[in-house]
Amino acid sequence: MILLTGGTGYIGSHIAVELLQAGHEVVILDDLSNSNESVIGRIKNITQRDVLFYHGDIRDVSLLDSIFQNHLIESVIHCAGLKAVGESVKNPLAYYDVNVYGSICLCSAMQKAGVKRLLFSSSATVYGVDAEPPYIETMARGVSSSPYGTSKGMVEQLLEDLSASDPQWSVGLLRYFNPIGAHPSGYIGELPQGTPNNLMPYISQVAAGTLPELSIYGDDYATDDGTCVRDYLHVVDLAIGHRVALKVLDSPGVHCYNLGAGSGISVKQMVDAFVASTGVEVPHRYAPRREGDLAAFWASASKVERDLGWRPVKTLEDMMIDTWRWQQFSNKA
């Protein structure tokens, strides 16, 4: 049985689907701060399987203890956390509280229960502002451009120290950037509460008329078209990567893998691809740069393909069409 923290969120819900379809029993813990409990029903509809759900916070130690006491948890996939770069610059205390202290609470409960297999949903932002793309796993963690990235690096360091202190721990660190798209069923996808912090849901909500226009932050970066370049990955490919990476927990120690497309796409190219794939226009304007944003980065995924046989198979068009299908479904839901 697998405990999946943040399992009703955008990434977590897709991981839940992949795990259930692969035959795993899943327990989800989520505080619903950026998701909705209706996602549980949608996961069940897609997989035709039951999933146990706890509404709670990973900082609630008594709740964590109860979950480990009441269920035979073998492994944990840790996705719970705050994730917006810009928001973390404005409110760093919340990011260190939830992302770092929350991870400490989770690991303490795991250690108390004797469960020492953890897959951490990390971020390639841990490579820092000075690293040259493509990022590879042998690079040292650098200085992050935001408290969000710093919090991810701090959790990685925590897990490395924990593993060094006890050889029974098996830890997987999965580093990635920008998951987009949605499940092809159209039943689950990214639907943030309030104004979106990420590009793809902002594009789709503008296309749907929910928001008036898209702001593209910066058009003077040292890239081909002046807009930021990122490593975009279909969320289903990312979820499969998490499922496949569970096998590394059979070996003790810390195992680090990048999950990415291995190339970058600019913000302007993303907008153009959405229009080309859906036929729906996206009104947009250029705005000043956001604090904490870097010009361009992407990660090499050659190690995970070599070791685990994983590589992304979804196309950019898939990402756009699945996003738009989900947006239309969510507008009706």
Query: 124 by DSSP, 3-state: which?
Result: helix
54 is catalytic: no
Burial letters for 145-177: b for 16+ Cβ neighbours within 10 Å, e otherwise?
A: bbbbbbbbbbbbebbbebbeeeeebbbbbbbbb
CA distance 38 to 331: 14
Bridge pairing between strands 2-5 and 75-78: parallel
Q: Which amino acid is at 120?
A: F
CA distance 264 to 15: 24
Burial letters for 271-306: b for 16+ Cβ neighbours within 10 Å, e otherwise?
A: bebbeebbebebebeeeeeeebbbbbbbbbbebbee
CA 253-255-257 angle, to 5 degrees, is: 175
**DSSP assignment letter at 217:** E
Write down the H helix ranges in 131-259: 147-165, 199-207, 235-245
Length of the chain in terms of residues written: 333
CA distance 208 to 281: 9
Query: 173 by DSSP, 3-state: which?
Result: strand
* Angle between helix 199-207 and helix 267-278 axes, rounded to 10 deg: 40
Q: Contact at 8 Å (CB) between 316 and 276?
A: no
Point out the catalytic residue in the list 148, 176, 187, 221: 148
Query: 129 by DSSP, 3-state: which?
Result: coil
- Count of CA atoms in the C-beta half-sphere (13 A) of 236: 19
Whether the ω angle into residue 134 lies within 30 degrees of 0, i.e. cis, is: yes
- Reading the block at residue 29, the tokens are 């813990």
CA distance 226 to 219: 4
Residues catalogued as catalytic = 148
